[in-house]
Amino acid sequence: YMTPPIESTTPPPSKSALLSIPQLKQLDRKGFVQIPNAFSRNSILEARAAAIDLYKSTSFSNQNSPSVRQDTTTFISDISSTPVALRSIIRAMRSVASELDSADSTDFSRTISHRVPLHLQLAVYDGERKEYRAHRDNPVLGSRLQDVGLLHYLRSKPYRARGITCIVYLNSEDWNVEESGGGLEVFLGADEQDDVGETSKHPAIVSPVGGTMVLFDSRVVLHRVMPMLCTGERRIALTLWIEGEPRSTA
């Protein structure tokens, strides 16, 4: 599969805070937080239209093996040539990294020294049964040098830097998981060795409603995208993997 570029940079400052103190604290304690209405309905509608234009005019590809995930993705790295509607959302996502950096350590200290990669993922789940099986975005355990060999270890470098996953959904405001599927299931409290979610004490399902932002610990939180049902809706999401060192091993 494709290895994304590894360049990253210090995060841009945030103009206005996206995260409240209680939300920062929840991300710190649970490793997961959901922020409803992080973006206005209009900005999401415009960004969705721009994303669909890109989907129709550029090439999106499958990452990984189709038994693991069936979405198609493209990586956006040059934001100066990205449609304005998407650009403003991407800027805001990048600024989350600086909010985490400047948070008081009593509110947030799960990860430190955040950087933002120059690329982010635009993913489209188009059609019935499309899903992404349970995984961690930074598979720390699955990519130890002694276990995987040097080549795989070097190839997985970009994934090992991932600290906090930031997702913004570009869907309609009334996405309904029962009707359309496509929920993000997070297996909170699952054991480190659990790759399917059976040990999760508090599984939660996030509806990929337009304007919702989700943040979680890329190393810890096991999650999956539940299979799409047959409504014909496309499920579209932007994902930025904010780099950061875990506090414990820093």
- Residue 239 touching ligand AKG (CB under 6 A): yes
Among the listed residues 46, 137, 185, 233, the single contact to ligand AKG using CB under 6 A: 137
Provide the minimum distance between the beta carbon of 223 and Fe ion in the complex, in angstroms, as a whole number: 6
Selection from Fe ion, ligand AKG, none that 123 binds (CB < 5 to 8 A by kind) is ligand AKG
Which CB atom, from 137 or from 243, has the smaller least distance to Fe ion? 137
From the list Fe ion, ligand AKG, none, partner contacted by residue 143 (C-beta under 5 to 8 A by kind): none
Distances (CA, A) of 12 to 94, 95, 164, 174: 7, 5, 16, 32
Binding to ligand AKG (CB under 6 A) within 197-226 occurs at: 208, 223, 225
Cβ(182)–Cβ(205) below 8 Å: no
**Interface with ligand AKG in residues 61-100 (CB under 6 A):** none
Pairing of strands 162-169, 184-188: unpaired
Query: Taking CB within 5 to 8 Å according to partner kind, which of Fe ion, ligand AKG, none is near residue 88?
Result: none
- Show contacts with ligand AKG in window 98-127 (CB under 6 A): 123
Q: Which is nearer to ligand AKG, 161 or 184 (CB)?
A: 184
Q: Which residue ranges make up the site for Fe ion (CB under 5 A)?
A: 137
What minimum distance in Å lies between the beta carbon of 174 and ligand AKG?
17
Residue type (1 letter), 11: P
The answer to whether residues 211 and 40 touch, using CB atoms and an 8 Å cutoff, is: yes
Closest CA to 212 of 177, 242, 243, 171: 171
Size of site (CB under 6 A) for ligand AKG: 10
Task: Record the tokens describing residue 184, joined without a space.
Answer: 């993000």
Q: How far is the CB of 11 from Fe ion (least distance, A)?
A: 21
HEC string of 144-210 equals CHHHHCHHHHHHCHHHHCEEEEEEEECCCCCCCHHHHECCEEEEECCCCCCCCCCCCCEEEEECCCC
Is the Cβ of residue 10 or residue 61 nearer to Fe ion in the bound state? 61
* Full strand arrangement of the beta sheet holding 202-206: 132-135, 223-225, 184-188, 202-206
11/182 with CB nearer ligand AKG: 182
Minimal distance, residue 102 CB to ligand AKG, in Å: 26
Q: Based on CB atoms, which residue is closest to ligand AKG, 181 or 208?
A: 208
Q: Report the C-alpha gap between 122 and 120 in whole angstroms.
A: 7
- Sign of torsion over alpha carbons 107, 111, 114, 117: negative
Out of 132, 159, 175, 216, name the contact with ligand AKG by CB under 6 A.
132
Token digits of residue 249: 């091993």
The answer to whether the beta carbons of residues 113 and 100 sit under 8 Å apart is no
Q: Name the binder of 184 from Fe ion, ligand AKG, none, CB < 5-8 A by kind.
A: ligand AKG
Task: Give the footprint of ligand AKG on this chain (CB under 6 A).
Answer: 123, 132, 137, 167, 184, 208, 223, 225, 237, 239
